[in-house]
Structure 1
Amino acid sequence: MNDAGLFAADVGGQIVFLNVARNRYLAVAREILAPFLVQENERGRFTPAEIDRAATALRQVGWPTAHVKSAPLPLTSHIQATRSLELSPLKPTRLADPRAALSLLRAARRLKRRQLAEIVGSRLAHRSKIACLTSPARVIERSLAFAAWRPLASDKDRCLCDSLALSMYLGRDGKDVDWVFGVSAPFFLAHCWLQMGDLVLNDSIEHTRQYAPIMIV
């Protein structure tokens, strides 16, 4: 991400941009942006005309560009998930915590009242203030307890509501838990989930692998 709150991901033959402030996605053909993805092509350096074409495309999505020569475009990457709690044989050691239901209600209300950029900024600030390290066992236990209440998640933007609610429920235990936003192509879709290392907490591996990470919160 840069200071403008922009993210980018390489999805097949497209570079997809996310403007958090506007909560908007936009895809640009990869070949157009080639000069800003690599320094050289098979002929050597890209021509000034090619670089200008790429810079124009980037300006249209609000991305700051280099002045006179190509520069690699920072693309979002993340640890690929290899495990999921959906396949875990573990079960909660106590009754499902009703505070999880409260987190779902709070998350739905927050999504109605606040912009995505504000929610993202708040979470980043919260994570930066947590000094203690995450206990993986506790994160797993709490995520499993939360799962019992998942059917209450709002139908609108369900993955957003579910992930935000679980993040709020984990609280300080979520220090090392990433909120991953992903996009897919060629038929554009957006999705999000929570992940701790290579472990998906609230989705399946098969589903999350259909999306390329574009923003990690």
Structure 2
Amino acid sequence: MTGYALRKGLTFCRVDGRFVFLDLPRDRYFCLSPIADQAFLDVIAGESPAWVAAALRDGLLRETADDTRPVACIPPAPPRGSLHDNNQIVSRTSVLGALTRRAASRVWLRARPLKAVLDRVQERKSSRAGVELSVAQISRLAASYRRAGMLVSAHDQCLATSLAVAWQLASLGATPHLILGVKLHPFQAHCWVQLGDVVVNDQLDAVRLFTPILVV
């Protein structure tokens, strides 16, 4: 029996009744037309509408040897807490380090494709995982980035900030989730870091507006 899977590098989620896709190698988000959107829903349900031929031709889908069907992004545990507004006292050195790492992440994102950057984060997590950080350690790290954002605006820098936070946590041996999420009406993409069900570098109410489309 023939199945279908997404082309490598594609991931998706369902938001407000529509499918939203992230094409990571091309660094772009997109939606399908209403007709194609319904057809993709049929594919997930195990049917094979006529639209499949066009999807195969355009490279959205690929055939598999078994009855595989595309699966939406599987999010981590729903966020239930946040360290973003904690009042942990941090040193100037810690804040300067957060600013430096955020700036380095911005340079990294300009110099390399997003997929390559996220692959390096995954490699870092895999090579260093196994250490359970204390609440105090994580709180200090979160406070450092919050203070850094107060000194030099972090507006529209969620990806660079989250990369820096995730990289630092992974380097310490933790296993953070770097999450890219989307919302519609209007379309907006966002990025944050979670450890378990705790958001490290954003407010809880802010991230709950977004549906995860990629988890690293």
TM-score band w.r.t. shorter chain? 0.7 to 0.9
Shift in CA distance, 153/124, structure 1 to aligned 2, threshold 3 Å: farther
Aligned residues: 205
Structure 2 match to 1:202: 201
- Which of 29, 52, 70 matches 1:73? 70
Aligned partner of 1:18: which letter? L
Conservation of the 8 A alpha-carbon contact between 2:89 and 2:143: yes
Aligned partner of 1:179: which letter? L
Conservation of the 8 A alpha-carbon contact between 2:180 and 2:214: yes
Alignment of structure 1 residues 1-217 onto 2, 5 Å: 4-28=8-32, 29=34, 30-39=37-46, 46=47, 48=48, 50=49, 52-54=50-52, 56-57=54-55, 60=58, 62-66=60-64, 71-78=68-75, 79-88=77-86, 90-92=87-89, 94-95=91-92, 97=94, 98-137=96-135, 138-151=137-150, 152=152, 155=155, 157-173=156-172, 175-217=174-216
Shift in CA distance, 33/143, structure 1 to aligned 2, threshold 3 Å: same
Moved over 4 A (4+): 93-96
Aligned partner of 2:103: which letter? L
Shift in CA distance, 149/126, structure 1 to aligned 2, threshold 3 Å: same
Aligned partner of 1:118: which letter? A
CA RMSD in angstroms comes to 2.6
**Structure 1 portions without partners, runs of 5+:** 40-45
TM-score by length of 2: 0.82
Deviation of 1:184 after TM superposition, in Å, equals 0.9
Deviation of 1:2 after TM superposition, in Å, equals 6.7
**Structure 2 portions without partners, runs of 5+:** none
The percentage of aligned residue pairs carrying the same residue is 23
Structure 1 CA distance, aligned partners of 2:90 and 2:157?
27
